[in-house]
Structure 1
Amino acid sequence: MAVEPISAAMLTNPEPEQPIPKLADEIMSIPDYISPSHWMLIAFNTIFGFNPAEEAAKWFAGDWNGMARAEDAFAELVEFESALVANVEAATTEMFHGWTGEAADAARAYFAQLSQALAEHSEAIKSIAREYHNTAYGVWAICKSVVSTLEMLADILIGIALDLAATALLSETGVGLVVGGAIAGYLAFKANSTWMKVVDLHGKMINFVYAFSGVSGSLVSTLHGMTEVPLPGAPYDNKNVPS
């Protein structure tokens, strides 16, 4: 029975996969629903086509879609190579059925080495895909945190603006000026602390990148296995057969 060739259709355009289910994402985002800035930014996105907080988060933490798309590409390559290994093993089993001798032994050794190299190559790519997945999830989580923190910061700034307006209206009472100034000072301190959380999240993103670069760099060195299985340089020369 002939062995069917591997179809290149197995390799499709990679698509990013959502790190967590949509329902779980919505449950985790419940605290955002009580934020005035959250709804203001949704309205902004509806009118102008983009969300300033989400765009700012991409500037700080990057775009997780690129990492997730790369992970999907590597995963498809692993599936393709796994199918290729199975195809080679099936074809060689059929080919060596009833074929013996030195030529058969040499061919069998070559295809065994090829199958092993393909399998090791797939394992290395699978490890790299796993690192891309972990990094994509980390980038996505940090982006979500940055967006929520920026919305919190916007809420505080709105509070400061309202407090300053009220303080100006009640400044003639003296008491209003003191109370309003104290509240504005507290809100300013809170705004600064919230901004420092954004800075801290950016630092965590940098650590993610460094960790990913180190691990993926070490894994890349394992991808050279295929170069160790060159194509046969010449056909088998049977010394017992006259040329």
Structure 2
Amino acid sequence: MSDFVDVTEPTRLLRAPAAPGEYSQGPILDVFNNCGDLASPTYWVMEACNAVFGFNPLDEVIQWFAGDWESFAKCGDIWDQLGRAVEAVSGNIGSGNRTLDSTWDGRAADAAYTYFHTCAAKLEEIRDEFGKLRTEYDHLAHSAYSTAEAINGFLSGIIDGLLITAIEMAAGTALSWTGAGAVVGYGLAALEIADMLRLWGQATEAIGNVQGIVNGAVGAVETIGATLYGTISEFTKIGEYDHPNPAI
């Protein structure tokens, strides 16, 4: 029995999961930390916000991105580790099977070889599915963070526009008695509003794109999960031990 030595210790391949580099900077919502002017708007900024959107853009964005995306990102690393561990178990079984085959002959030996060979092959299939899961989780987590960074840029532009619009609206109101002052103030505000609507359109388009990625990933993960369940269920159907003596 001393010849049956594991090629790899599977548990050594398991460790605490690591998040992708961008998530190491903190939660994804930290990306929007510089949007304080939208979090605590002044009176005129709120007036401008209501005039342009009728809602607070930051609230809408945070509602979509709320959740522990960093933990989700770590799942990709976990799937990868599980895949490597399963691959190690498969390698150990394959190595032991070759050792067994070199020292044992006959019908029982052939049946045992087939059983362990099939078992190792099933584990390889599971390893492949874990790899697919890792790809889906990594892609979705990276897409969410990249989209958040892009939307942060759009929100920054919107904040600048709201601040300018707030000043111009206040100026237009304060100088409304002059007529010309109101026209200039509200006219400049209209230009800023058009630009803010353009930026918000780009932000919602980015959210729509990543929502499409989420929907696709959900479908892919469900398919992978079903395949994994089927493969694991088939372990009990690999084959039966067929001894030459029917009484045994």
TM-score, normalised to structure 1, is 0.76
Is contact 2:58-2:155 (8 Å) kept?
Answer: no
User: 2:188, 2:17 → 1: CA distance?
Assistant: 52
User: What SS does structure 2 have at the residue aligned with 1:229?
Assistant: helix
Is contact 1:131-1:212 (8 Å) kept?
Answer: yes
User: 2:70, 2:62 → 1: CA distance?
Assistant: 11
User: 2:117, 2:239 → 1: CA distance?
Assistant: 17
Pairs within 5 Å for 1:114-133:
114-133=119-138
Match of 1:229 in 2: 235
Is contact 1:10-1:76 (8 Å) kept?
Answer: yes
Is contact 1:166-1:180 (8 Å) kept?
Answer: yes
Q: Which moved more, 1:203-212 or 1:61-70?
A: 61-70
Pairs within 5 Å for 1:31-70:
41=36, 57-63=61-67, 64-70=69-75
User: 1:170, 1:55 → 2: CA distance?
Assistant: 33
Unaligned runs of 5+ in 1: 23-31, 45-51
User: What SS does structure 1 have at the residue aligned with 2:108?
Assistant: helix
User: 2:62, 2:170 → 1: CA distance?
Assistant: 33
Is contact 2:23-2:70 (8 Å) kept?
Answer: no
1:139 pairs with 2:144 = yes
Match of 1:6 in 2: 9
Match of 2:187 in 1: 182
Match of 2:49 in 1: none
Give the 3 Å change call, closer, same or farther, for CA 228–40 of structure 1 in structure 2.
Answer: closer
Q: CA deviation at 1:127?
A: 1.4
Q: CA deviation at 1:226?
A: 2.7
Note the alpha carbon deviations across 1:27-59, whole angstroms, 9 max, x for none.
xxxxx9xxxx985749x9xxxxxxx99886442
TM-score, normalised to structure 2, is 0.74
Is contact 1:142-1:201 (8 Å) kept?
Answer: yes
Q: Which moved more, 1:169-178 or 1:199-208?
A: 169-178
Q: Which amino acid aligns with 1:148?
A: G
User: What SS does structure 2 have at the residue aligned with 1:176?
Assistant: helix
Correspondence for 1:197 among 187, 193, 202? 202
Pairs within 5 Å for 1:64-83:
64-83=69-88
Q: Which moved more, 1:56-65 or 1:103-112?
A: 56-65
